[in-house]
Amino acid sequence: MVIDARLHLWNTERLHYGWLQRPENAAINRTFRFADFRSRAAQAGVDRAVLVQADDSAADTEAMFEVASAHPEIAGVVAWVPLDRPDEAAARLDRLRARPGFAGIRNLIHDQPDPDWLRPPVGEGLALLEQRGIPFDVISVLPRHLSHVPVLSERYPALRMVLDHLSHPPLGEQDPAQWRALITAAARNPLVFAKVSGLYPPEEAWTAEDLRGAVEFAFELFGPDRLMFGSDWPVAELGGGYAKMRAELSKLFDQLAPPGRDAILGGTATRFYALGP
């Protein structure tokens, strides 16, 4: 069973996604439906997926649950609640927990103007996730975002977190020293996991070799039982497409023993998100 732990779908005729309006995202500023994913997943040998929010809105969350209810291949939904409005977040979480497939919460913290987003109301929202045992997807685009993770681990010791995209390791000629130090500090908490997803080297003709340093470091740091594969599709269209992302990552996963490979390709996501059959 192969599970894509990082899938997005969106309908630009129905909802407005502000980040899609940026010039660098022009190629994916269009509707991507479940059928578009299913055809690619079948060719890539992917069985199921976790659908992850792409907008901080209740409308985006509702659209994801509509897809999940119609397609059993969607194993879980990582939704949105306003963590900076804890009273509203609590009410929304109570409703979400009653919905089949609800798997976790994410906020687009990297789109906040202040990278020090841990304001007191947000802390109250994160405490709600900890108290209810709900996982939190962490988008750590900037080093400052990643540096918050050990702080969160100390404040909310029972909060399970997963770092999207390995917290954006520098690829190509960039120095990985700062990223390595920060993600090592984050990984000291055994409840911090990471997704091997969204890794796009600057060269168009990139291969697995361009990812090897970052991915093998993650193998050693987290171990396969705290890592999960994610395509980041359809954003992956900007980095060569679904098939290329799956094929190149598989070259790195295949060097692991079968139990470790199976964990990254589905077992870890199943445990972390408590995915049903």
- Give residue-wise pLDDT tens across range 123-144: 999 999 999 999 999 998 888 8
- Give residue-wise pLDDT tens across range 211-254: 999 999 999 999 999 999 999 999 999 999 999 999 999 999 99
- Give residue-wise pLDDT tens across range 152-165: 999 999 999 999 99
pLDDT of 222 reads 98
Greatest CA separation for the chain: 48
Report how far residue 146's alpha carbon sits from residue 141's, in angstroms, rounded to the nearest whole number: 8
pLDDT of 188 reads 98
pLDDT of 115 reads 60
3-state secondary structure of 22: coil
Domains held by the chain: number: 1
**Does the pLDDT value for residue 112 go beyond 90?**
no
Residue 54 in any domain: the answer is yes
pLDDT band of 13, cuts 50, 70, 90: very high
Chain-wide mean pLDDT for the chain? Answer: 95
pLDDT band of 109, cuts 50, 70, 90: confident
- Domain extent, residue 196, equals 3-272
Residue 130 in any domain: the answer is yes
Q: Which of 102, 22, 33, 30 is nearest to 61 (CA)?
A: 102
C-alpha distances in Å from residue 193, one per residue of 63, 149, 162, 219, 229: 27, 11, 4, 11, 11
* Rounded average pLDDT over 31-55: 97
**Does the pLDDT value for residue 145 go beyond 90?**
no
pLDDT of 113 reads 65
Residue 212 in any domain: the answer is yes
Cβ atoms within 10 Å of 172's Cβ, excluding its own: 9
HSE (CB half, 13 Å, CA atoms) of 265? 21
Amino acid at 74: I
What CATH number does residue 117 fall under? 3.20.20.140
Residue 277 in any domain: the answer is no
pLDDT of 183 reads 98
* Rounded average pLDDT over 53-63: 97
3-state secondary structure of 78: strand
Structure tokens at 54: 């792409």
